[in-house]
Amino acid sequence: MEALFAMAIGLLTAVGIYLMLRLRTYPVILGLTFLSYGVNLFLFASGRLAVNAAPIIGYPQPYADPLPQALVLTAIVISFGMTAVIMIMAIGGYLEAGHDRVDLDDTLEPEA
Say how far apart CA 84 and CA 24 lie, in whole Å. 17
Q: How many residues bind another protein (CB under 8 A)?
A: 88
Nearer to another protein, 88 or 109 (CB): 88
Closest CA relative to residue 41, chosen from 20, 81, 1, 13: 13
Residues 56-95 within binding reach of another protein (CB under 8 A) = 56-58, 63-67, 69-70, 72-74, 76-85, 87-92, 94-95
The 3-state DSSP class for residue 101 equals strand
Q: Is residue 96 part of the contact set for another protein (CB under 8 A)?
A: yes
Contacting another protein within 21-60 (CB under 8 A): 21-30, 33-34, 37-38, 40-42, 44-58
Integer Cα distance of 57 and 23 in angstroms: 49
